[in-house]
Amino acid sequence: MKNYELQNTSIWSFPDRGNWSTHKGDYRGNWSPHIPRNLILKYTKINDLILDCFVGSGTTLIEAKLLNRNAIGVDINNNALNISKERLRFASHNSSMIKLYKGDAQKLTMINDDSIDLICTHPPYANIIKYSKDIDNDLSLLEYNDFLLHMNNVSKELYRVLKHGHFCSFMIGDIRKNGDVLPLGFRTMQVFLNNGFILKEIIIKEQHNCNSTKYWKDRAQNLNFYLLAHEYIFVLYKQ
Ligand SMILES: C[S@@+](CC[C@H](N)C(=O)[O-])C[C@H]1O[C@@H](n2cnc3c(N)ncnc32)[C@H](O)[C@@H]1O
């Protein structure tokens, strides 16, 4: 990955999602490793501490290890933690300390106040993809409004653990319901602003190889709407 070219505009598109190291695209709703790679290289230096509190299959932590950063990953689902553990088992010359915890992003009791250099995370998009059937506080089981209420707790907790002058980044998409758009992205961003974060960037990320595209194509034609083909990456900071 020498001479890796960083993004330099507010529109990102990765037609080739990236499958270097142990990355695989098979965890539902995973993000391309290009996303954490860009955010980590722009907003941290070697040995900094990164938090992904919705770690999923560990994409962010793999990038942290490759880039010689320390990292903490949290997920509420054992399945995600097992996959992450497996994918982090690769040899490296770096001395990164990578820790995984089972926990709830709303209550990060294992993390001290003002201790994280970068938050780089990717919550569920309300209940668009359900990651479990009945795990308590699994935010992927929540409807739109309930999800936003719980993200209020998450943003307060992220504000607590982030160092002053440091960045919190997350990716999220909108929802199409009965033909109309529920603006989950901007509503979640507003929750973070309400809790003290300041907005640095809104990045539009083009979606590729979306599993549901074929299903939506027919519906879009019948109901006369555009297919949602973007997500947002919000970058905010704590003053
Ligand atoms: C969109 S996925 C993250 C995918 C990840 N970026 C990747 O590349 O694999 C969201 C994750 O949030 C987890 N999750 C849901 N509710 C949570 C909570 N309250 N605290 C921590 N993790 C949670 C889910 O189990 C799921 O693994």
Residue 195 covered by a domain: yes
Residue 5 covered by a domain: no
Residue 85 covered by a domain: yes
Q: Which atom of ligand 1 is nearest to the CA of 84?
A: 9
Structure pTM?
0.97
Residue 128's domain is classified under what CATH number? 3.40.50.150
Q: Which atom of ligand 1 is nearest to the CA of 27?
A: 9
Q: In terms of residues, how long is the chain?
A: 239
Residue 91 covered by a domain: yes
Give me the pLDDT at residue 121, please: 99
d(C-alpha 236, C-alpha 84), whole Å: 26
Give distance in angstroms: CA of 224 to centre of ligand 1: 32
Give me the pLDDT at residue 212, please: 62
Residue 111 covered by a domain: yes
Contact at 8 Å (CB) between 205 and 144? Answer: no
d(C-alpha 116, C-alpha 99), whole Å: 13
Residue 207 covered by a domain: yes
The strands making up 11-12's β-sheet, listed across from edge to edge, are 11-12, 198-206, 230-237, 162-172, 116-121, 49-52, 70-75, 98-102
Of 44, 33, 36, the closest CA to residue 69 belongs to 44
Residue 1 covered by a domain: no
Give distance in angstroms: CA of 130 to centre of ligand 1: 10
Residue among 22, 109, 131, 157 whose CB has most ligand 1 atoms within 8 A, to mutate: 131
Q: Which domain holds residue 71?
A: 11-237
pLDDT in tens, 118-138: 999 999 999 999 999 999 999
Residue 4 covered by a domain: no
Q: Which residues of the chain have pLDDT under 70?
A: 209-213
Name the domain count of the chain: 1
Give me the pLDDT at residue 210, please: 62
Contact at 8 Å (CB) between 139 and 90? Answer: no
Give me the pLDDT at residue 88, please: 98
Ligand 1 site, CB within 6 A: 27, 29-31, 53-54, 56-57, 59, 74-77, 80, 104-106, 122-124, 131, 137-140
